[in-house]
Chain A
């Protein structure tokens, strides 16, 4: 009987040797005459265990990891194809506490299935959301999304249902669905994992969005730093077209939906929705003044939904299980689950999908296991390069949009980067401004000039030149950028700087 062995094809798993492990297993099975089928799944998101090899046994999937190519011979010697004992054996994958204690809704299939297998996607609940949407009126679809309380997972946390309602209510001869897959925040990789691990889920979400607002064309704006996503998404779209899920007549519904992936070109600001639209139109990625909102005047001047990958990939579940099912997770105005991405100086980095409300402390120590270096953690940066640095005394913060906002921090896209006590917060503050100077689109002065001046001021502080005066100047500059910039790039670059100044003033006194 054929034994199924899973070796992830996820970028991160491959970056530390998954391809070589898969090749080694294939070769070893071949020379031993064993009937092994290697399935390249997405990652389960437990990256300290990657490459994580799973074997399908009569009692479910058994995990081994982290597996090096040189471990493969001993795995075969230990009869791992039947789940045999081995130093790397982790037991049943689903029972590993890191995974077991999660609430995987959006990521329900990521790491479980072969990402491009239409059969497995359908068998694991795929397309049931779309089937429901096809028999629903547009207003009903939007009502389900509203009821779920889903808010934009790209970072801005705008209520998705309200955005959709606006596009639905705006009459036009053409509307668009745009997926923001320009996941540029350092410390975030949830979009990438989903696109590589369950691409049909995103496609299904975009088709549903199209049905909901009457849009017939969709674009996925993908960052060029994700070459594997490009290949996977294009192949997934090709297969969906062949199977009739995309095209002139989606699943026999008499609704058209055409989908295309467009590649960005290494610009962080194109993750800002209006800059993204400019880029899609073939222009420099400069932000547009709002209003008008993209929901009214978006891509090519037409009403457009711009949603993040995770937002759109959550939609099929809402339709399949109902808005209330999703809203029952979470707390306060933060409903559903959050896909947290833990990285940096942390023992157990990974993807953790949990209902809102988990505290930072639980995340960093119970899941993350503390620092990788063994030294005490000193700070985390939440929400990407524009997010505040949070000191250890605030680790009691629950992961909740409003709770974070109250303390001047933000969850953003859910990336949490941990730093141990060797971090130099003055250097991190300088980097935030340097990054802004590098990536500013240049349209508004506070961001374009303020970032450059900010770097200079921090350098003067570092040299001990009029330190007190320059600290006041830096605060003032941050204030100007925060309140005078056109978009979040200039408006939020001060957050990491101000939080570093506020919580770690000693680093600016050296």
Chain B
């Protein structure tokens, strides 16, 4: 579950950016709840955009249709869309809002509340470094510094070759063998700088990018 890198919505929706979406919303449509559902076709939001691809939209619609009748369907929907596409494309918002009978602002509010949900595509591997106290007690801060320095990026950023996105995480429950790192769904314990570099190399190799 929660595989991160199978498909990326961006390949299909590359020119539908969040900026585009929000500049559309800025004209006031988003603020009017009475208006919700009125825009049945997200294409209206992206009028003039050549990024709209029907196939991805269909996949999102199917996911939404499968979950919409479950109580509290929002998080399961968001998780599955992100699992399939790697992130939550702007096109998903209106579909979810309409299906769950909430405003698009509410959907956006939920997406931005949770650390897991991303509105931009991540790198081919997501590496999380634990910042919890139990990791700090065993050199977690030094590992964090090494991770940033060796990848040349800060937390929440992606390397220029799109290979790795670095994220902080507050506890992986692996405290007894700290410091801990998660790559995809695999948790690694007692990670030092050398081990971290190995994990990065393995992640790059498995996603088809040389070291």
- Using CB atoms and an 8 Å cutoff, list the residues of chain A in contact with chain B: 11-12, 14-16, 47, 50, 183-189, 191-192, 224-227, 230-231, 262-268, 279-286, 300, 341-345, 349-351, 372, 381, 385, 415, 417-420, 423, 428, 431, 435, 438-439, 441
Contacts and interface: CB of A to CB of B under 8 A. Distances in A.
Interface string B1-40: 1100000000000000000000000000000000000000
A283 B173 CA distance: 25
Contact of B174 (A12, A191, A285, A344): A12
A187 B176 CA distance: 8
A265 B71 contact: no
B132 A423 contact: no
Contact of B173 (A183, A282, A439): A183
Contacts of A15: 174, 177, 180, 186-190
A262 B180 contact: no
Contacts of A344: 133-134, 137-138, 175, 178
Interface of B: 1-2, 71-76, 78-79, 100, 106, 109-110, 113-117, 132-138, 169-178, 180, 182, 185-190
A299 to B, nearest CB: 8
B110 A187 contact: no
A341 B135 CA distance: 14
A186 B136 CA distance: 10
21 contacts: A11-B172, A11-B187, A12-B189, A15-B174, A50-B177, A187-B134, A187-B175, A191-B173, A225-B173, A264-B75, A268-B170, A281-B71, A281-B72, A282-B74, A282-B110, A286-B113, A341-B175, A344-B133, A417-B134, A417-B175, A420-B137
Contacts of B133: 186-187, 344, 381, 385, 417, 428, 431
Nearest to B79: A263
Given A263-B76, A344-B137, A417-B137, A225 B1 contact: no
Contacts of A266: 114-116, 169
A231 B176 CA distance: 22
Contacts of B175: 186-189, 341, 343-344, 349, 415, 417
A173 to B, nearest CB: 14
Given A15-B180, A187-B133, A262-B75, A285 B114 contact: yes
Contacts of A345: 137-138
Contact of A300 (B1, B71, B170): B71
B27 to A, nearest CB: 25
B78 A265 contact: yes
A269 to B, nearest CB: 9
Given A12-B174, A15-B187, A344-B133, A282 B113 contact: no
Given A225-B172, A372-B138, 13 more contacts: A12-B177, A16-B177, A47-B177, A186-B132, A186-B170, A187-B134, A189-B174, A225-B169, A265-B115, A267-B114, A282-B110, A349-B175, A418-B137
A129 to B, nearest CB: 26
A184 B171 contact: yes
Contacts of A417: 133-134, 137, 175
A268 B74 CA distance: 18
Given A14-B187, A342-B176, A344-B133, A280 B117 contact: no
A356 to B, nearest CB: 22
A445 to B, nearest CB: 18
Nearest to A279: B75
A77 B1 CA distance: 39
Given A47-B177, A279-B75, A344-B137, A16 B190 contact: yes
A276 B5 CA distance: 28
Q: Which of B138, B176, B185 has the most CB of A within 10 A?
A: B176
Nearest to B82: A265
A348 to B, nearest CB: 9
A225 B115 contact: no
A226 B187 CA distance: 9
A349 B180 CA distance: 14
Given A15-B188, A186-B135, A343 B113 contact: no
Contacts of B117: 265
What 6 pairs across the A-B complex have the smallest Cβ distances? A186-B132, A282-B74, A266-B115, A344-B137, A265-B114, A15-B189
Given A344-B138, A349-B176, A263 B114 contact: no
A47 B138 contact: no
A265 B79 CA distance: 8
A285 B186 CA distance: 26
B140 to A, nearest CB: 10
B163 to A, nearest CB: 21
A265 B77 CA distance: 12
A94 B175 CA distance: 24
Nearest to A422: B137
Given A188-B175, A342-B176, A262 B72 contact: yes
A47 B75 CA distance: 34
